[in-house]
Structure 1
Amino acid sequence: MSVTCLRGETTSLTARIRQWAITKPNDLAFVFLADGENETGHISFGELDDKARRLGGRMMRAGLSGQPVLLPAQNGPGFILGLCGCLYAGAIAVPIPIQVRNRGKERIRSIVRDAGIVAVLGTDPSAALHLTELIPGISSLSIDDLEDEPAFVAACDPQRPAVLQYTSGSTSAPKGVVITHRNLTANIVMLSEAFGVHSGSRVLTWLPLFHDMGLIGNVLPALHCGVPCVVMPPLTFLQKPRRWLEAIDRHRITISGAPNFAYELCVRRRGDGPLDRLDLSGWELALCGAEPVRVSTMQRFVEAFAGAGFREGALYPCYGLAEATVFVSGGRVGQGVKVLTPDAPVARALVSCGRPPLTGPVTIVDPDSCEPVPDGCEGEIWVCGDHVAAGYWNDAAATAATFSATLPQCQGAFLRTGDLGLKWKGELYVTGRRKNLIIHRGINLHPEDIESTIGASHPGFGVIGAAFSIEVHDEEQVVVVYEVPLPMIRDLDMRTMVDNALDSVALEHGVRLFDLLLVRLGAVPRTTSGKVQRDRCRTLYLSGDLARVAHASHHPSLGRYQTAVAHNPVGNEILIR
């Protein structure tokens, strides 16, 4: 039986939660696995609605209706309650990582300044205390002891902001994507239809809930459609990937997904337990997004877990971005991975991201002339529809540049995604990124931030560096080329420099570098105006030309030497040297 989730539906998420609280108050809404294995808590629709209404009342009386509120995002019941409390109070939820350290502290301060935040919800008491100490003047509001609080549900204005989703952009100036209640409802309906959610669906996620794929791509469709969602912390998966698969088996999960790296990690760690004790036959939809989908990874995953009942047709590549709330396009349920056909003009093994829904049309446009291109030709992906966000918070110039594109014979404004792709026989294929962003394991990294971190890690580094990504064993890895002044070479301890750089990048960005090449001044290519040419630098690196002018290019802790020993990638939250 299908869940009632109709095309063009305008029922808000808060109205949906109230509906389930009335019609099935004792049904489980969420199950929590704090250690990734054992059930450590759960909450029913009735209990969630009751507590959220009381928290909404507390927030309303604290003057937080219509105000942005920090929401430390741990994958547990506190965050779910805090989010629903924000929605009920008419406040604007601003999810942030729960662990804030080093450069992340300045990022949080920047978010607080940009959004004008005055309060943090105590979804995790220690995190809330840390934030109040970090940011003078910000207050903390507890989510506990709600029994005596009068309930409150604000009227839902579809045009008002529901969530500020701060992008994984430059740490000095993160941009808040304004997701209205209309955007949220429109995208959740798109997701529910695309995923084929039905009354027997069960969702599981270990993705961080401050990330749009974890929150909007997994948790909220389950909540909107009234089906249970199992939540486990990201670290539990990264420590032992088999926990994800075991939880899918044990809780009879039908919908779950992750970026490409997670499937690759499961394949590489498949020896952690016997296949005959794993049953993945009930997994109907294994979505894959947030970073490029690798055909070879998907094939290896199918081969590795077919013996556990996993079906190739369950794989579901999709494409989206925060500026479109989260979801833009996905394949057909049961179709599996579809690769660009040989008769296409582009001879590349590109993975189809399906047909964009009628409610969210996609056009491929020449990014320079701003004219649509024919089928099979590469261009920038432009998106239109009610799911496209309202813009960037307090940034009219960036909003106009990104959200206000127009096309002849087309009504409404388009979102310029900055991503490149093509359409062939009605299906969308993503070919790359027009921006300089590095996407490593689903996390966006600005090359300038990594370069800055390395430059500050040791006085021997010059002022020019170039960070970029390369593909290694079907996974994107991060490489940095950095100039070192020639007069200092003899006096420098190269190993200490690389040690410092590795430590700093891992600590501040959660990434282990695949390679760090130290080169003479002038070796990093630049434009005539002095801008670093990262694409050119990548080309020179891959050709071996940069290695010939390198002062030091080998270090046992660099990823390329680790990879040569064993393919054992590490999660973004873990520092390993």
Structure 2
Amino acid sequence: MALIVPDVSEEDWACKVYGIVDWHTATLVDMLQHRAKLSPSMVLYSLLDGDCNIVDHLTSTQLNDLAATIAAGLHHFGKEGDRVLLLCDNDLNYISAFFGCIYAGMIPASGVHIDVMRSDERFEMVANDVQPKLIIGPRKILADYKASHKELNCKPIWVPLEVLFNAKNKIAIRGNNHDVAFIQYTSGTTRNTRGIELTHRNLIFNLRHQAKSYEYLDEKYSGLSWLPLAHDMGLIGCVLLAIGCGGECMLLPPKYFIEKPARWLQALSRYKVGMSGGPTFAYNLCTKEVTDEEMQHLDLSSWELALNGADTAQADIMQRFCRKFSAVGFKARHLVFGYGLAEATLTATRTQRRVLPKFRSFSRSALMAGFAWPSINKFDRRELISCGTSLEDQKVVIVDPETNMPLRNGRVGEIWITGPSIAKGYLNRPEETEEIFHAKIIGQNESYLRTGDLGFLLNDNLFFSGRISNVITLRGKTYDPDDVSGVLEAACSDIRPNATAFFLADLEDPVSITVIIELIKKPVGSFDTIAQIAYEIITKTYDIWPKTIVLTRPGGVLKTPSGKAQIARTRKALNENALPVIKRFDYEVPDLPPPLTYEQARVEVEKWIADATKEWDEDVKELTREKLVNREVDSELLLNLRRDFESYFHIQIDPSEFMVACQNYNDLCNLLANQISVTVS
């Protein structure tokens, strides 16, 4: 039984009868203590080895006791409110250490992944940012890191877990619902990692709605995760959700999945797990690397919630996954998609369980111009998947990031969110917190979180379409690197999954488009052939010309611990000759006419209109609102005028804005000129 009731009207009754926690007032200490009281022998976590055998486990009572013991030990070295950096493997020690800090009234910092590339670099960045009083973890791990990082400016106390396990007393400080529970460091996809202050209220509200939307209020939860425990989805969406829902979460250390993706599916099959998931690249790896022989031993019929987060390149990948694994019991209706980010605790939107996902085709050129319109041919088609609807008691809106004005359904803009899941802010960054967490829509007083992500709404369903900091804007159109990556991977099997980067090498030079491509270990095609395929695909699909294509060995595209490309860091590493380059190809970029200023565009527009309307009976310069209302002007002519203009100048125009502008010739010219010009600062 879930610990978190679904409806406000039931809270008082349920809390009295069952001792169920109320997200308005409870803390994580309440949540674990209630679980230990209601289900003392329930196995919450089981740890798997490389053969998917269970090698360790924790019951709710064991975790409650361990947390209280560690908390008592921590108070020999620090006090309530101190920050503690977790430095553990992806095993049960991480969970015990986390709750030990929570029970001590201290604030754990999560976000250091010790078994990934460049973990030392990330550790130093996080440690110097969070300034922990204590660093805790197994003795061996602490010794290794302490020897390598003697110059940390925070001068922390390094405390082995082995010492804390031997504390003689037990304590549990409940804390306050509005207090910071822990600090989750971002993955660093679009900027340097940031510490996010998440309160108990943020967490329990989000868990409550996850439990409800996944229908685990009365049904027993069974989950499996290979995700890093230092990542928000691994820690919140798996570890904490198991306590809130009541059930076992099996943990497969990430290294075992990366070494052999089939292990994930083998564990799901062996233990008949109902809920598991990961980023799109994980499904892609399984589709490409699970062999026919391994398939013979799989049974995925029990996997009823296959979770996947927002990703612009996911539609084709997820459809291929469904086709391949349908033979072993997997069904497309078991896919559950969502959108979320650490700044919103975890989940912001989600699709419904047991409902077929909404794969929708849109015009790529229209999306690049800011409109979610149907595709008109297969060459212009880009498939996206609905990320579902907003959590109850929260709100998702689409906003023009330049004007802070809300956009109507079908317009692409920045995703903004408000509600109880929105974190307190960034640690020690008051200016950024004010800018990102307290944004205001023009004419409203409510504060919103600016996500930095692009998307649009259709029938209350959110579609994610890219990240603002990653997109390249050329001649009024935006190009999404994830879209380019997906198109390239589909075109050439020698390109590694989730392993291309597309960016401007020189931010001041709009024609310095660079593409970095990681190759599989033993490519079939020659390097020249692979580069030529990539060049032709990009020029034909996007009508742009790369200046440089770089082929690299694995590791050429820098990634977050969860596998997302870090464009800015990859660009920097390329400029510093720090990537494992195999071969570089440079191309001549065609001379394109310079973009028009507004004044030049106005001249061009008036010439074009004059020529396009010369056969009209009505003088276009005499357009008025009255003539439109009285139908003195043929609306079909105006419709064709818009389409012809879009075709001639290769742009997209909002039909409603166009019709409003048609009430006045000057307004019409102004609208069209702004569409094809650039602002000169």
TM-score, normalised to structure 1's length?
Answer: 0.76
> In structure 1, what is the Cα distance between the partners aligned to 2:32 and 2:471?
37
Alpha-carbon distance in structure 2 between the residues aligned to 1:435 and 1:245: 34
- SS of the residue corresponding to residue 228 of structure 1 reads strand
1:25 aligns with 2:40: yes
Change beyond 3 A, Cα 1:559–1:209? closer
- Contact kept, 8 Å, 2:72 with 2:171, in 1: the verdict is yes
Q: Matched residues in 1 for 2:503 and 2:450: separation? A: 30
The corresponding residue for 1:55 is: 70
> Equivalent residue for 1:251?
271
Aligned to 2:28: 13
User: 2-side partners of 1:576 and 1:99: how far apart?
Assistant: 26
Residue of structure 2 equivalent to 1:280: 300
Residues 227-256 of structure 1, C-alpha deviations (whole Å, 9 max, x = no match): 110001111111111111111111121110
Q: Confirm or deny that 1:208 pairs with 2:249.
A: no
Q: Distance in 2 between matches of 1:116 and 1:559?
A: 30
Matched letter for residue 79 of structure 1: Y
Relative to 1, partners in 2 of residues 1:242 and 1:330: Cα closer, same or farther, differing over 3 Å? same
Partner of 1:219: 239
Give the 3-state SS of the residue equivalent to 2:250 in structure 1. strand
Aligned CA distance change for structure 1 residues 171 and 378 (closer, same or farther; 3 Å): closer
Give the alignment of 1:117-128 within 5 angstroms.
117-122=132-137, 124-128=138-142
Equivalent position SS for 1:61: coil
Q: Report the counterpart of residue 478 of structure 1 in structure 2.
A: 500
Q: Pick from 181, 200, 203: which aligns with 1:184?
A: 203
CA contact 1:72–1:128 (8 Å) conserved in 2: yes
Cα distance in structure 1, aligned partners of 2:461 and 2:544: 37
Contact 1:109–1:135 (Cα < 8 Å) also in 2: no
> Which residue does the alignment assign to 2:432?
398
Letter of the 2:183 counterpart? L
In 2 relative to 1, CA 432–31 (structure 1 residues): closer, same or farther, beyond 3 Å? same
8 Å CA contact 1:132, 1:138 repeated in 2: no
CA distance in 1 between partners of 2:314 and 2:112 (Å): 28
Contact 2:220 2:245 in 1 (8 A): no
For 1:207, the aligned partner's letter is L
Show CA shifts across 1:175-215 (max 9, x none).
Answer: 21111111111111122222222442201100111111111
Amino acid paired to 2:275? I
Unaligned runs of at least 5 residues, structure 1: 439-465, 485-500, 507-514, 518-537, 561-569
Contact 1:73 1:96 in 2 (8 A): no
Deviation at 1:477, TM superposition (A): 3.1
Question: Are the aligned partners of 1:339 and 1:351 in contact in 2 as well (CA < 8 Å)?
Answer: yes
Q: What do the CA deviations read for 1:335-383 (whole angstroms, capped 9, x no partner)?
A: 1321237899522422101110222210111111111111111111000
Report the Cα distance in structure 1 between the residues aligned to 2:456 and 2:482, rounded to whole angstroms: 27
Deviating 4+ runs (over 6 angstroms): 341-344, 466-469, 480-484, 538-542
Q: 1:207 to 1:103 in 2, by over 3 A?
A: closer
Q: CA deviation at 1:138?
A: 2.2
Which residue in 2 is equivalent to 1:115?
130
1:132·1:139 contact (CA, 8 Å) conserved in 2?
A: no
Give the deviation of 1:20 after TM superposition. 1.8
Letter of the structure 1 residue corresponding to residue 49 of structure 2: A
Q: Which residue type is aligned with residue 352 of structure 1? A: S
Cα offsets for 1:70-128 (capped at 9, x unmatched)? 11242201101001111111111112334379854344233222222121112x32222
Q: Which 5+ residue runs of structure 2 have no aligned equivalent?
A: 9-21, 364-370, 375-381, 473-480, 491-496, 507-515, 520-525, 529-537, 557-562, 566-579, 583-681
Partner residue of 2:664?
none
Change (3 A) 1:410 1:194: farther
Q: What residue identity is the alignment partner of 1:139? A: I
Rounded to whole Å, the distance in 1 between the matches of 2:80 and 2:34 is 22
User: Given residue 143 of structure 1, which amino acid in structure 2 is its aligned partner?
Assistant: L
Amino acid across the alignment from 1:346: W
Identify if the C-alpha distance between structure 1 residues 279 and 312 changes in structure 2 by more than 3 Å, giving closer, same or farther. same
2:333 and 2:353 in contact (8 A); partners too? yes
Contact 2:84-2:109 within 8 A present in 1 as well = yes
Matched, 1:85 2:103: no
Pick from 147, 150, 160 the counterpart of residue 142 of structure 1: 160
Residues 377, 423 of structure 1: 8 Å contact kept: yes
Alignment deviations for residues 266-306 of structure 1 (CA, whole Å, 9 cap, x no partner): 11123153434221111110000163352222211111111
Q: How does 1:454-533 map to 2 (within 5 A)?
A: 470-471=485-486, 472-473=488-489, 476-479=498-501
User: Any conservation in 1 of the 2:237–2:346 contact (CA below 8 Å)?
Assistant: yes
| Structure-1 separation of matches of 2:407 and 2:564 | 39
1:155 aligns with 2:174: yes
Comparing 31-40 with 106-115, which one deviates more in the overlay? 106-115
Which position in structure 2 is the counterpart of 1:346?
Answer: 373
Give the Cα–Cα distance (whole angstroms) in 2 for the partners of residues 155 and 2 of structure 1.
20
1:328 aligns with 2:343: no
Q: Deviations over 1:415-438 (max 9, x none)?
A: 000111111111111111111289
SS at match of 1:162: strand
Q: Structure 2 counterpart of 1:138, which letter?
A: P
Partner residue of 1:169 out of 175, 188, 198: 188
> Aligned partners of 2:77, 2:451: CA distance in 1, in Å?
38
Instruction: Report if aligned partners of 1:205, 1:214 keep a CA contact under 8 Å in 2.
Output: yes
Correspondence for 1:241:
261
Distance, in Å, in 2 between the alignment partners of 1:437 and 1:204 is 34
CA distance in 1, matches of 2:327, 2:133: 53
Quick check: 1:69–1:94 contact (8 Å CA) kept in 2?
Answer: yes
Confirm or deny: 8 A CA contact 2:4 2:244 kept in the other structure.
no
Look up the SS of the partner of 2:373 in the other structure.
Answer: coil
**Amino acid of the structure 1 residue aligned with 2:396:** V
| Structure-to-structure mapping, 1:284-363, within 5 angstroms | 284-289=304-309, 291-292=311-312, 294-340=314-360, 345-347=372-374, 348-363=382-397
Counterpart secondary structure, 1:414? strand
**Residues 506-552 of structure 1: CA distance to partner in whole angstroms, max 9, x if unpaired?**
9xxxxxxxx999xxxxxxxxxxxxxxxxxxxx9899767445xx6xx
